[in-house]
Structure 1
């Protein structure tokens, strides 16, 4: 029989971190996938607190990681540890980079590189989904289904966003090449 266990505090911290992280991804995804949300002002309100929520999510992930390491008494001198927890470690490292650079000083110093660096958040999104599936499969707790749901939904919405943005980009390229075509034929006639 399928049964859900009560989650330890470490899992609650991980779930809370994932939830806040997903909220940081919502503004752009909602604006592209559900354009009508622009009129509600929801994406704009979420955007205002994005950095703060991201930093809180990072701190919760630190707590989650610390409690899990303490509970499992992991040996960081054993390479097997890194293999088993690679997706959690990589996600944590990305979150650390994003948290460290989530300030106005970093935006000014890094300029265009800041945006490129913060696009790592989308890699973290896929790693986080993998982490939840890999670590919770077979021993589900009460926070596993909502964790899988929110990380799965945001990942799916992100894929839809990329498809829509590429469709719009391809469409605008086609329109610009069509508008140049009559000019080119007209100049050849002259």
Structure 2
């Protein structure tokens, strides 16, 4: 029989959820503009776009707290390669977020030029890694946060796919 009770969310899950919300907010402006062009002039989109880097850094700090609390709770053995295999999505996503955070400043944009944009496109790899991470880690012991996190991350992933499809259609029509 399927157990339908929800687990109590520990602080680490709240931090992970808030990091996810902030991360989704960094992805929304561009995808919304392309998929729903009528949103181009909306005030919320402008605010998100203007504060994207800061929101991304907040997402990183929250994700760092999430990771630190979970590592401390689970007393992970980083000398065991099995640990890396179990947490590969979280580790790779965290590495991507670290690179994006370190380079989320005007100096990096100037120094890296075109490479800055290429590096920051890794955020879309992180997007799909997070879908995998949330499904893998929360399967079987959902908290009250899990459905919201799932809807948010899958929703933004679908929006990103729609964006890429629309961009492709626009390229083909030119």
Alignment equivalent of 1:122, drawn from 79, 103, 124: 124
Structure ranking higher on relative contact order (CA contacts 8 Å, 6+ apart): 2
Structure-1 separation of matches of 2:41 and 2:88:
41
TM-score (norm 2): 0.97
Cα shift readout 1:2-46 (whole Å, capped 9, x = no counterpart): 111120000000000000000000010110011110132332221
Which portions of structure 1, spanning 4 or more consecutive aligned residues, are displaced by more than 4 angstroms?
none
Structure-2 separation of matches of 1:40 and 1:53:
18
Structure of higher CA gyration radius: 1
TM-score (norm 1): 0.89
**Structure 1 residue runs without a partner (length 5+):** 173-190
Cα shift readout 1:82-132 (whole Å, capped 9, x = no counterpart): 000000000000000000000000000000100000000000000011000
Structure-2 separation of matches of 1:37 and 1:145:
26
Report what 2:139 is aligned to: 137
Report what 1:50 is aligned to: 52
**Structure 2 residue runs without a partner (length 5+):** none
Determine whether 1:35 maps to 2:37: yes
What RMSD over aligned residues (CA atoms) do the two structures have, in Å? 0.7
Tell me the number of residue pairs that the alignment of Structure 1 and Structure 2 aligns.
172
Structure-2 separation of matches of 1:5 and 1:84:
21
